[in-house]
Structure 1
Amino acid sequence: MTLLQRLAAALTMLFCLGLSHAYAEPLTSEQVGRFIASMPELTALGEKYQDSAQRNIDPRRPLGSSLELMGGKGQEYADLAQLAARHGFSSPEQWADVGDRTMQAYQFASSPVPPDQVDAMYQQGIANILKDAKLSAEQKQLILSRMEKTHSGNQQARQAVDKDIPALKPHMAELDKLFE
């Protein structure tokens, strides 16, 4: 699986997993633009290193965890360091952080369901479970517990990326094409 394929798979899982990071400084539009500009080179590197696909990539941080698995060494890491430098990043880790945050914020920014509607749907789901006569009290509690955990994770994820979303706004058309 190429790096680009791993990124695409990770993007689809972000909503399900939720995020717990809080970032010190919001992303800037300039950082997002530089990350987007690096993607054609990343695609080429993914093709070059497609046989070195790594397992155990954290879908919440696909780029950062990929770098960690490389251990800061090897030709693939060196090539990513050069890519990062060409696009104005101080290190591959900074590039990966901006990339992971861009992807996470994009997931929320491009969601067709606004946050207030998500909350309303969650509350309606609770009501539906509570009034379902086919479920035992134990089954209801189990379902509600899982729902609450998922909803809480998604709320934390949303809070973590809210301050990054404004930096994406000027780039949404490019990001839409990139993550189609």
Structure 2
Amino acid sequence: MNTFKSFALASIFVLSAPVSAQLIDFDTLGPDSVAITNGYAGFNWSNFASLAGAYIPGSGFEAAVVSGPNIAYNEGGSAASFSGDTAFTLLDLYVTKGYEAGITRFQGYVGDTLTFTQDVFSSTTAPTHAVFNWAGLSKIVLTSETGVAYSAIDNIHIAAVPEPEIYALMGMGVLGLLAARRRKADK
């Protein structure tokens, strides 16, 4: 197989490969209820805390554990958010209500503009898998309906949004190879 065909085949595989997802599972944080600090998993956190689900037996916090011992929840049942310094894609996560079944609202911001909203109903007995696939995000805000305040989340899947420069460089490389191939064929 010649060099051009090898490169073309490799390019097809690279371009068709899914962007790898980052799993945020809170399991590296301690078991006691503690505020999640900025920088954890590369994000800025506001009003989120982490605890071992078994810390509150028989609750939705215990049922919320998908992997490992820990979950994150909105402290005091108030609005909570996480944001990134670069754009990201929220693929999916698991949500469970803390003490009473109800709705958790997720809002996705691109810059300062509210762009996506999704209400997810969940119980206190098992996590609900919520799929988003929201791209280009700068911030996610979680809120709960009045009276059903606490929401626990686990296993957030995030993907980085590829920078346009990467595609531009790859495109220029392919064009250069095509031009070289054409010159070689003209000889």
In the superposition, the TM-score normalised over structure 1's length comes to: 0.24
Q: Which has the larger radius of gyration?
A: 2
**More helix per residue:** 1
Q: Which has the higher strand share?
A: 2
